[in-house]
Chain A
Amino acid sequence: MSNKKDSITNDDNFKNFTSSTVGDIHVEDPRIIAKNINVYYGEKIAINNVSIDIGKNEVLAMIGPSGCGKSTFLRCLNRMNDTIDSCKVEGELYLDNKNIYNKKTDVVTLRAKVGMVFQKPNPFPKSIYENVAYGPKIHGMAKNKIELDEIVVNSLERAGLFEEVKDRLDSPGTSLSGGQQQRLCIARTIAVSPEVILMDEPCSALDPIATAKVEELIYELKENFTIVIVTHAMQQAARVSQRTAYFHLGSLVEVGTTEKIFTTPQDKLTESYITGRFG
């Protein structure tokens, strides 16, 4: 990967880099800046020259047909792609003006700052309490048991799960229902106080009621976190996000406010996808 710069300053006129994307990829107050990102799996290119800003306290929805590279791009944001041997990332990615693909970046702190919720709920095969307490524990966020309890209860409350599980914090996380498990995973993620939460189709395994709960949660979390969510449900993107990015075959085709993308898409591809002609 090319690490031309370690960090970005206002002197850099970084707003002028080229991009074939329709719509404004920039925002006023970016938390994440992706600049000319290319991702390869072996020889195959999966993300082709994608540049986009992600603002503070906004929910960005990423939509696009299956296999277009949404997950791949999302996983760049917390360097989860590092775990795939064949995966190679090029370009510059800044979180709070620090290049996260710099050799000096500590992935562990990065992933604590950029939490991730996965498509399939994946609680640890441990107790509900342990699931939430694990992150704070390894990061030394609590000085004692009382503080840890506080973090756990607080996170479960914010994930809207506490009332349902308060009597059985010791029972295994895997004994919860799918929707509860997913909210447990969200609680686990917010327990380490991240700045950004990445969600890869968090509701694809959930029923409408559980989905509604998670969406409500996303809406509340947006106050404190930057959220990037991948979704296949158009209505979901419309409901929870402020901005929407449309991916197609590894390219970022169009970005804009959610309202605009869903009402007056500029690009032909976006329009066909939104109107359900393919995908």
Chain B
Amino acid sequence: MNNLKSRLAKEKRFELYGFISVFLALSLLSLLFISIFSQGYTAFEETRIQLKINFEQDILDPGHTKDWSVIKKSNFNLLVKNSLSEIFPDTTKRKQKKKLFKLISSSAEYQLRNEVKNNLNIIGTSKKLWVLADDDVDMLIKGHIKRNLPEDERRIDNKELEWIVTLESKKYIDKFFNKTLFTNGDSAEPEQSGVLGALIGSLFALTITLALSFPIGVATAVYLEEFASKNNKFIDFIEVNINNLAAVPSIIFGLLGLAIFLNFFGMPRSAPLVGGMVLAVMTLPRIIIPSRAALKSVPPSIKEGALGVGASNVQAVFHHVVPVALPGMLTGTIIGMAQALGESAPLLIIGMVAFIVDIPQSMTDPSTALPIQIYLWADTPERGFVERTSAAIMVLLLFLIVMNSLAVYLRKKFEKDIN
């Protein structure tokens, strides 16, 4: 009786411990999500200012050439400045004017240039355009810079604030969905920087990683588990080393990549190709170990049954054992890929940490990766990068969630096919 009571109490206690640990894990996780989200959600909006731009013939194409190669050299910035001066005609002092023009992001010039490039007939007419505001204006509009602070503690002085208030009253300033974040690479200006470059870099690197590590990893696991003789010292040696490799700090793989891929084979620095190869080496043991476990868990009776009807060892393995183990192998692979996606140390070593503005066009173009972009932005003092850091983390997490859901979907699908 007493025994039963204590056993029940033990069960209750164990249940409670389990509940507490799940609760703790979940609350920490949600704390993380809440903090990232609350800091980052504003990054999905950007502040733009409406300007009425006069595409003056005299500035753009005084010779009426209608030739883009001539027009593209003209001073588009002047158009922006002129249109700002139109709104604030009282600002005449050189110094004041300079300050006024600083409200607009330097990217406005490129926006106008594109506008003209796409439609040369626009020259001589005028058009209302929403151009990007400078990051300080953006921060003020989003409330990250408090308006009621004393002037010397504010990055925006009273004069600038006055202009902004004027623009606001005329409804010339508004927030839009932040397309820039998803269409641009890195930039020194927060308002012009985006994650696309890093995203593509990560995508390229992961493609290489998957293409290398999945076939090699699965083939290794199948060989070790199904074909290699079990009492072979050399195989034992390999096994021990695979397990060791899984525990090697990732930065070591970066050093290996630097020594072998870059210095010995002379591959390009900062390239997703090399990054992917380094990550593949790192991911290999993380695919091999769960794949072997998956193969091991296939009941041997299935293989015996196949051998019993005269299948060769290769047929038995590939027709019966591997299909049953595939869901497990896929899960291992996706978890390995997810780790590779979040990995930054080895990529730092092979130079994927540079400040790269251009979107990589190929696997050999210099590029960064998402976790490194996060690291770079987190390291930058500008207020505008703080929210972008969180936004980049959200993009990374989303990427991970998509990958993991894919893993779950594939596993379900293959399990259904089998049973």
Complex Cα–Cα for A174 and B312 (A): 23
Minimal Cβ-Cβ distance residue in A for B308: A116
Stretch at the interface among B54-62, B296-304, B333-341: B296-304
Minimal Cβ-Cβ distance residue in B for A135: B309
Complex Cα–Cα for A80 and B304 (A): 8
Q: Is the CB of B309 within 8 A of A111?
A: yes
Complex Cα–Cα for A232 and B309 (A): 25
Q: Is the CB of A115 within 8 A of B311?
A: no
Q: Is the CB of A109 within 8 A of B310?
A: yes
**Residue of A85, A115, A134 touching B230 (CB-CB under 8 A):** A85
Q: Is the CB of A111 within 8 A of B307?
A: yes
User: Is A86 an interface residue when CB atoms closer than 8 A count as contact?
Assistant: yes
Minimal Cβ-Cβ distance residue in A for B418: A125
Complex Cα–Cα for A201 and B71 (A): 91
User: Is B274 an interface residue when CB atoms closer than 8 A count as contact?
Assistant: no
CB neighbours of B323 from chain A (8 A): 125
Complex Cα–Cα for A112 and B303 (A): 15
User: Is B324 an interface residue when CB atoms closer than 8 A count as contact?
Assistant: yes
User: Is A123 an interface residue when CB atoms closer than 8 A count as contact?
Assistant: yes
User: Is A148 an interface residue when CB atoms closer than 8 A count as contact?
Assistant: no
Min CB gap B241→A, angstroms: 21
User: Is A185 an interface residue when CB atoms closer than 8 A count as contact?
Assistant: yes
Q: Is the CB of B305 within 8 A of A118?
A: yes
Min CB gap A95→B, angstroms: 14
Complex Cα–Cα for A125 and B324 (A): 8
**Residue of B229, B301, B310, B419 touching A120 (CB-CB under 8 A):** B301
Min CB gap B339→A, angstroms: 30
Complex Cα–Cα for A61 and B231 (A): 35
With contacts A134-B319, A174-B419 known, is A83 near B304, CB below 8 A?
Answer: yes
Q: Is the CB of A118 within 8 A of B310?
A: no
Min CB gap A191→B, angstroms: 8
Interface size of A in residues (CB-CB distance below 8 Å):
33
Minimal Cβ-Cβ distance residue in B for A139: B310
Min CB gap B72→A, angstroms: 65
CB neighbours of A189 from chain B (8 A): 308-309
With contacts A85-B229, A172-B419 known, is A111 near B305, CB below 8 A?
Answer: no
CB neighbours of B418 from chain A (8 A): 125-126
Min CB gap A3→B, angstroms: 21
User: Is B113 an interface residue when CB atoms closer than 8 A count as contact?
Assistant: no
Complex Cα–Cα for A111 and B310 (A): 5
Q: Is the CB of A192 within 8 A of B302?
A: no
User: Is B315 an interface residue when CB atoms closer than 8 A count as contact?
Assistant: yes
**Residue of B304, B311, B312, B320 touching A118 (CB-CB under 8 A):** B304
User: Is B348 an interface residue when CB atoms closer than 8 A count as contact?
Assistant: no
Q: Is the CB of A122 within 8 A of B301?
A: yes
Complex Cα–Cα for A115 and B311 (A): 11
Q: Which of A131-146 contact B (CB under 8 A)?
A: 134-135, 138-139
Q: Is the CB of B305 within 8 A of A185?
A: yes
Min CB gap A255→B, angstroms: 25
User: Is A70 an interface residue when CB atoms closer than 8 A count as contact?
Assistant: no
Q: Is the CB of A188 within 8 A of B307?
A: no
User: Is A108 an interface residue when CB atoms closer than 8 A count as contact?
Assistant: yes
User: Is A180 an interface residue when CB atoms closer than 8 A count as contact?
Assistant: no
User: Is B246 an interface residue when CB atoms closer than 8 A count as contact?
Assistant: no
CB neighbours of A86 from chain B (8 A): 231
Q: Which 4 A-B pairs have the closest CB atoms?
A: A112-B310, A122-B301, A135-B309, A116-B308
Given A118-B304, A189-B309, A191-B309, 4 other A-B residues pairs in contact with their CB atoms under 8 A: A83-B303, A115-B309, A116-B308, A124-B302
Selected A-B contacts with CB under 8 Å, 6 pairs: A85-B230, A115-B310, A122-B301, A122-B304, A135-B310, A172-B419
